[in-house]
Amino acid sequence: MAHLLVVESWVGSMSRLLPRALAEDGHDFTFLTRDLRHYLRSAPEGAGHPLLDARALVTAPTNDIDALLPLAERLHTALRFDGVLTSCDYYLPAAARIAARLGLPGPSAEAVENACRKDATRRVLAAAGVPGPRFAVCTDEAGALRAARDIGYPLVAKPVDLCAGMFVRRVDDEAQLAEACRALAAFPLNARGQRRDPHILLEEYLTGPEVSVETVTYAGRVRVVGVTDKSVGGDRAFIETGHMFPAGLTPEQTAAATRTAVRAGEALGLDDVVAHTEIKLTADGPRVVEVNPRPAGNRITELVRHVTGIDLAAACVDVALGREPDLRPRETGLRSAAVAFLVPDTAGVLAGVDGAAGLRDADGVLEVQLAEPGTEVRAADSNNGYLGHVMAGDTDGLGARDRVTALLAGVRPRLVRA
């Protein structure tokens, strides 16, 4: 049995999946957080709160790496850790630096930092010849307006250090670009109280279907677990409305996407890591959207497990411990699994969800999660605004997406004025 140091986490699905993986393998964990109140809310999906399984809960300055590293050393002396991990994007670099400081397994801190910073990712991949969009990194609105003239409209404006699609916008003209820049400037801290980098990343707008490649790299060897597709909604935002695993691609498309994802991970120097690399399949070939050095969110990790039996959360634990993960596919009876998200387009207070009765008993349904009445609702502008999801599988082929799409089509949130 191993003992892991977990540095912060999400409060969504991975807050259940990671403790489950630890418990199933008989591991203990100590949880490090700067603000325990962030996690003191209803347990995810009706389960017992995952932090109840922690060996210890420690309040620590997780946003101050200079103070955090010596504290981690003192804790290591007292508690003896075998690995360090996190499921929160904002703390992936810190976890890598702690592991290096303690002499524990883990990816290179520099590689993780470059993967987590979208501008650094662009520079590293461009230098290595890995295909991506034309881009510019700008320090202010005036610089962005000048750079946009070179790239050309439409383009994508995004922060360099946020996740879940926050503030990622398609911009079609100077007025929309100015609006996007000002919105970012008015958001100086992320959800964890970390001061944001003010740089703005502009990218060529890419057309074509988007997929993600799920990989596990251990001791220099990359294993491709599979490719997931993505559907995107929203007006100028890029809101993920659903996923299916495996993606319905041709063998040639699958091979091209996986080659590009592997090249991206190698260029960044990622090793001993589970990665989720997003790829746009353009008419000119695959282009890297971003590289995430952690298991996929938005229920993709569960789609993979339902179809292949491979638990990417468990693989994340294994590589953090310096152990080779078990990536052997198992027969599950499913040939595809898909999830569709309930995305609100208006604001109010949730009075109920019409059409939800009997949803859990529908053919092939694996999960249903819906927000409770009384939830305050805003029109979604990122992946943080969902009101729930439906997940279903197909035993015969790639019919899971059509199944969840049809199921969700009959569901409507009923809102009242706030």
pLDDT of residue 363: 95
Q: Which pTM value belongs to this model? A: 0.96
Helices and strands of the chain, counted as H and E runs: 11, 19
Architecture of domain 207-332: 2-Layer Sandwich (3.30)
Confidence of residue 49 (pLDDT cuts 50, 70, 90): confident
Q: ω into residue 246 within 30 of 0, thus cis?
A: yes
Q: What contacts 231, CB < 8 A, 6 or more positions away?
A: 240, 241, 242, 243, 340, 401
Confidence of residue 51 (pLDDT cuts 50, 70, 90): confident
**Is pLDDT at 45 greater than 70 in this prediction?**
no
Architecture of domain 133-204: 2-Layer Sandwich (3.30)
Residue range(s) of every CATH 3.30.470.20 domain in the chain: 207-332, 336-417
Nearest to 171 by CA among 196, 123, 139, 136: 136
The more confident residue out of 15 and 391 is 391
Query: What dotted CATH number matches 3-104?
Result: 3.40.50.20
**What residue has token string 């063998």?**
251
Residue range(s) of every CATH 3.40.50.20 domain in the chain: 3-104
86-135 tens-digit pLDDT: 989 999 999 999 999 999 999 999 999 999 999 999 999 999 999 999 99
What is the amino acid identity at position 240?
Answer: E
Nearest to 2 by CA among 80, 82, 57: 82
Strand 348-354 and strand 376-377: the pairing is antiparallel
Tokens of 312: 């990417």
**Residue 298: how many CB atoms within 10 A of its CB?**
23
Confidence of residue 42 (pLDDT cuts 50, 70, 90): low
List the single range of 38-42, 64-68, 215-219, 397-401 with lowest mean pLDDT: 38-42
Confidence of residue 41 (pLDDT cuts 50, 70, 90): low
212-271 tens-digit pLDDT: 999 999 999 999 999 999 999 888 999 999 999 999 999 999 999 999 999 999 999 999
Q: How far is CA 241 from the centre of its chain?
A: 14
What's the CATH number of domain 336-417, 3.30.470.20, 3.40.120.10, 1.10.1060.10, 3.30.230.10?
3.30.470.20
What is the amino acid identity at position 225?
Answer: V
Strand partners, 341: 389
- Residue 309 near residue 327 (C-beta atoms within 8 A): no
Q: DSSP secondary-structure letter at 195?
A: B
pLDDT of residue 46: 55
- Residue 17 near residue 301 (C-beta atoms within 8 A): yes
Strand 412-416 and strand 348-354: the pairing is antiparallel
| Separation of alpha carbons 194 and 397, rounded Å | 44
Q: DSSP secondary-structure letter at 260?
A: H
| Separation of alpha carbons 156 and 152, rounded Å | 10
**Is pLDDT at 286 greater than 70 in this prediction?**
yes
pLDDT of residue 44: 55
Q: How far is CA 185 from CA 54, 149, 199, 202, 289, in A?
A: 38, 21, 9, 15, 23
| Separation of alpha carbons 21 and 16, rounded Å | 9
User: CA-based Rg of the chain, rounded to a whole angstrom?
Assistant: 21
Element (H, E) at 175: helix 174-185
359-382 tens-digit pLDDT: 999 999 999 999 999 999 999 999
**Is pLDDT at 204 greater than 60 in this prediction?**
yes
Whole-number mean pLDDT of the chain?
95
| Separation of alpha carbons 84 and 320, rounded Å | 6
pLDDT of residue 16: 80
Element (H, E) at 210: strand 210-218
Nearest to 115 by CA among 287, 229, 277, 256: 277
pLDDT of residue 43: 57
**Is pLDDT at 47 greater than 70 in this prediction?**
no
In the chain, the percentage of residues whose pLDDT exceeds 70 is: 97
**What residue has token string 């070939």?**
285
In the chain, the percentage of residues whose pLDDT exceeds 90 is: 90
